[in-house]
Amino acid sequence: VCISKCLPQCSVTVIADKFTPNTTSDVAAGILIPHPYPDTPIGLQKRWFQETFSYLLTICNSAEAADAGIHLLSGWQICQTAPEEKFPFWADVVLGFRIMTEAELEKFPEHHFGQAFTTLKCDSQRYLRWLESRLRGLGHQMEDRKITDLWELHGHYDVIVNCSGLGARTLVGDSELYPVRGQVLKVQAPWVTHFIRVGDGSTYIYPGMCSVTLGGTRQKDDWRLSVDSTTSQDILNRCCTLEPSLKKAYGITEYVGLRPTRSAIRVEKEMLLRNGSQLPVVHNYGHGGGGFSVHWGTAQEATHLVEELIVPLQGSLAKAKL
């Protein structure tokens, strides 16, 4: 969508073996909160988060908000003790960031410090459907197909943009990429209207447009996509400790996703060479537990790299193909 918006001279084909509702992105709570990427400079992480926040806030403030599945959400991030950094780098990106008052903390007797703020939340499936419909509306293509080697695309497209998430491990042999398994519950509890997040991200409650997402787990190198019922009960117990009214939650469904994790998000261009031929590729994967939070920022970065690659083509081609 970002390429089609910023480089309207390009025609775009999205090739994937899974589309919504069957991707990792569909499992996400879709909350905008930064996640650590130790080898991505903080300045860049902040810029990507800021660009994503501003872009989604504009949609949220427009008539498109409901169709796009985007809304504001206020709540609390709580810690047992105050962290060294009481004001994180993203404090001035979210809205109304402040330290919680003693009166607010009374709700959480085990926690003695907290941050209150308003952020954005995407209803993952609605947002993905909306993105797809925007692409289709602009006349771009969607193709349901597994790619085993990027060279299959050689000669068919001018630039390949590799947004294959965890699939990049085999597709481009990136052994730095690993899964961090996450299990969540989606429940009906329309009376819960504030988010609650334990500071280390181990437990969270995120009310959304259609359900409340309860999490979570972060299981490194665990490839299991099946639901673990003991884990579901544990998630529910942890969330009920923070928000006892969730004992009355109903309509519980369970989901598992594998976060495509590496120490830095990989947004870079690469010129693949084989038998004297060139295949220009822009990589954009490895978003770990924060893909929603930085997706537009990284998409803009990737789009800029695509632009650099198509400049030499522009004299010779009417419309570049991606």
Ligand X SMILES: O=C(O)CCC(=O)C(=O)O
Query: Angle CA(124)–CA(127)–CA(129) in degrees, nearest 5?
Result: 105
Give the per-residue contact string, 244-283, with ligand FAD (x = CB under 6 A; - = no). Answer: -------------x-xx-----------------------
Tell me whether residue 166 or residue 189 sits nearer to ligand FAD (CB atom): 166
Q: Which of 49, 76, 117, 204 binds ligand X (CB under 6 A)?
A: 204
Tell how far CA 266 is from the center of its chain: 14
And the tokens for 43? Answer: 């300045």
Question: Would you count residue 285 as binding ligand FAD (CB under 6 A)?
Answer: yes
Q: What is the size of the binding site for ligand FAD (CB under 6 A)?
A: 35
Segment 214 to 273, residues that bind ligand X, using CB under 6 A: 215-216, 259
Query: CB 180 → ligand X: shortest distance, Å?
Result: 8
How far is 13 from 56, CA to CA, in rounded Å? 24
The rounded distance, in Å, linking the Cα atoms of 115 and 101 is: 9
What sections of the chain are H helices per DSSP?
Answer: 2-6, 24-27, 42-60, 65-68, 102-105, 124-137, 168-171, 229-242, 291-310
Return the residue of 45, 77, 125, 164 that touches ligand FAD, per CB under 6 A.
Answer: 164
Contact pattern for ligand X over residues 29 through 48, marking x by CB under 6 A: x-x-x---------------
Nearest-approach distance from CB 69 to ligand FAD, in angstroms:
13
Min CB(121)–ligand X separation in Å: 10
Distance of alpha carbon 162 from alpha carbon 282, whole angstroms: 6
Q: Rounded CA gap, 125 and 103, in Å?
A: 36
Whether the bond into 190 is cis, omega within 30 of 0: no
Binding residues for ligand FAD (CB under 6 A): 15-18, 23-25, 27-31, 146-147, 163-167, 171, 182, 184, 215-216, 257, 259-260, 285, 287-293
